[in-house]
Amino acid sequence: MEKEKSFTELLDESEFKPRRYSVGEKIEATIVNITPEWVFLDLGAKSEGYLDRKELLDENGNLTVKEGDVISAYFLSSRQGEKLFTTKLLTRKSVDDYLYNAYKNRMPLEAMVEKEIKGGFAIKISASVEGFCPYSQMGLKKIDDPAAYVGKKFEFLVTEYAQKGRKIVLSRRPLLEQIEKEKIEALKASLQKGMKVTGTVTGVQNFGAFVDIGGIQALLPVSEMAWGKSDAKTLYMPGDKIEAVIINLDWENDRISLSVKDTLPDPWNGAINKYPEGSVHAGKVSRLAEFGAFVTLEDGIDGLLHISKIARGKKIKHARDVLAEGAQVEVRVEKVDLENRKISLDLAINAAEEAAADAEKEKMKNFIGKAPQKMGTLGDIFKKADGK
């Protein structure tokens, strides 16, 4: 049975959740640390805020507070969890000054998406100040569900400050792009040629598939998808997860090439045992040329059937005169060149015909006797007749 929590434990847990503040919101907080530049405030929930130490100096430059003192401060902005405060009263003018400073110095500020309006979102910056964020500036991709952003707080940059603060345009996009850039730079530093990576297929073309490997686009050429001839659109579709080996890194042109084939067993490793000379196998004609036909014995292993083997004594100009792509044929292995990954083939029917012809010749030799002696000339014949 689970132990019932005490009131103190429940109270402590509630304090663990950090608060969100609006620009201009006033707080009372205890000073927990003072450094040469900043004064740190205890915000509860194991979080801290900070403000400029200069704000708490008197006219002689002496610090007017000490650790443990409780002071009033106003929230200004948040950046990656760090909350900046000020002791100066945030009037409309001070808020405008702060926003103008944020605009000039490209300083991020935290604000809440209040509602969706024509062309984008109304952003609540403070109790008295609103801004506008276009759809295109809310994220890196097209927004499919605008309602999902309403009521949430995000960091923005002020990209336009006009009409004395009556027109404020905000954007999340530059901040997200910077985060993405830092992420990609870190990823680039970790990638090496020959290493295995996992990725997601984002698009498929006849020449290959585009793969996202942690924010970077790579290309998986169709020739590297499998051992043997492949059809990219049959093998992959967007959303597929793959494991591949990096075979090329070209950061200068932002090109990465992958190979799934290199993660698979090489069929040529066992070819010498699987296809010994003289063995007969079924194959499929994969390509035709003037000099012969390539026959696929298995994925990744093709043999060459020379045109002289196809012609069978006839005069032909092209392998297509006898064979068609996709045709099933029986072939006999004549030679295996493992070093150059080549197999020479002959049609099995040719071998059978040659063997039958040799057997027939041998048979005829056994049954045909010696040739009769010459009869001589016509004169010899008459002489033999006169002698009778």
Q: What residue spans define the domains of the chain?
A: 22-90, 93-176, 192-263, 267-354
**3 state SS of 44:** strand
pLDDT digits (tens, 9 = 90+) for 94-151: 677 778 877 888 888 878 899 999 999 999 987 778 899 999 999 988 888 999 999 9
Considering the segment(s) 267-354 as one domain, its CATH architecture is Beta Barrel (2.40)
Q: Which residue has the higher pLDDT, 251 or 170?
A: 170
Q: Residue 234 phi/psi, 5° resolution? A: -85, -35
Q: How far is CA 202 from CA 208, 240, 241, 246, 250, in A?
A: 11, 8, 10, 17, 20
pLDDT digits (tens, 9 = 90+) for 148-167: 999 998 889 999 998 777 88
Strand 196-205, strand 208-212: pairing? antiparallel
Cβ-based neighbour number of residue 93 at 10 Å = 10
Whether 190 shows a pLDDT value over 90: the answer reads no
Tokens of 340: 């150059």
Pick the most confident of 28-32, 58-62, 311-315, 376-380.
28-32
pLDDT digits (tens, 9 = 90+) for 249-266: 888 888 899 999 888 888
How far is Cα 222 from Cα 209, in angstroms, rounded to an integer? 7
| Average pLDDT across the chain, whole number | 81
Residue 157 contacts residue 138 (beta carbons within 8 Å): no
Residue 363, pLDDT score: 58
How far is Cα 359 from Cα 367, in angstroms, rounded to an integer? 13
pLDDT digits (tens, 9 = 90+) for 298-356: 888 888 988 888 877 778 888 888 888 888 999 999 888 888 888 889 998 755 455 55
Whether 267 shows a pLDDT value over 80: the answer reads yes
Q: Which residue has the higher pLDDT, 274 or 23?
A: 274
Give the 3-state DSSP-derived string for 275-303, with helices as H, strands as E and coil as C. CCCCCEEEEEEEEEECCEEEEEEECCEEE
Residue 10, pLDDT score: 42
How far is Cα 371 from Cα 42, in angstroms, rounded to an integer? 123
How many whole angstroms from its chain centre is CA 341? 31
Identical fold between 93-176 and 192-263: yes
Residue 316, pLDDT score: 82
**3 state SS of 268:** helix
Residue 358, pLDDT score: 54
CATH number of 192-263: 2.40.50.140
Residue 106 contacts residue 71 (beta carbons within 8 Å): no
* 93-176 is classed CATH 2.60.40.420: no
Q: How far is CA 287 from CA 75, 188, 232, 282, in A?
A: 73, 40, 18, 16
31-35, 156-160, 273-277, 346-350: which range is least confident on average?
346-350
**3 state SS of 339:** coil
Mean pLDDT of 263-270: 84
Residue 385, pLDDT score: 56
Residue 12, pLDDT score: 47
Whether 73 shows a pLDDT value over 80: the answer reads yes
Tokens of 48: 């801290």
CATH number of 22-90: 2.40.50.140
